[in-house]
Amino acid sequence: MIIDRLHAGLAGYSERHQLAAPPDRVDGAIVLSVDGRYRIYCRPAPHGDLVLESKLADVPVNPADAEDRIRTTLMASAVRMMTHADVPVLSKNGQIILLHQRIPADASVDEFESSLNNFIKSLADWRRIFHIL
């Protein structure tokens, strides 16, 4: 199963919560859907680490609005960086703001689950920052 090859903490989490085996994806990601509100991609990273990724918001097409959204993101990130493990990033095409959080390769199931729960709380925080209900 792909989960077993990806990350031990994620594999244990899947077993603990009796999640169905995910379909194989070309990019190697496992997709978790949480409460029907959050879609979290668990992506393989170098050295066996795992990156949690979720969409925060689109970058507006209007340059002034885009600048405002990016400024808000940078300011909020600066305030949060000392107390939160998540980091906002731009997508490769620069059109979407994503949230990333890295989980070490040796994270246990409990550590993975704790990180995932913190990531979900951060997604809710960011939705409030961006005024997304």
CATH number, domain of 14, equals 3.30.1460.10
Give how many domains the chain has, as a whole number.
1
**pLDDT for 71:** 96
Query: Which span out of 35-39, 71-75, 129-133 was modeled with the highest average pLDDT?
Result: 71-75
> How far is the C-alpha of 29 from the C-alpha of 42, rounded, in Å?
5
Higher pLDDT, 127 or 29: 127
pLDDT of 70 higher than 90: yes
Lowest mean pLDDT among 18-32, 64-78, 100-114: 18-32
Give the residue numbers spanning the domain of 11: 2-129
Helices 8-16 + 109-129 axis angle, to 10: 90
Q: How confident is the model at residue 6 (pLDDT cuts 50, 70, 90)?
A: low
Q: How many other CB atoms sit within 10 Å of the CB of residue 111?
A: 15
Mean pLDDT of the region 112-128: 96
> 42-46: long-range contacts (C-beta < 8 A, 24 or more apart)?
42/6, 42/7, 42/10, 44/6, 44/7, 45/102
pLDDT > 60? residue 2 = no
- Supply the pTM of this predicted model: 0.88
Q: Over the chain, what is the mean pLDDT? A: 90
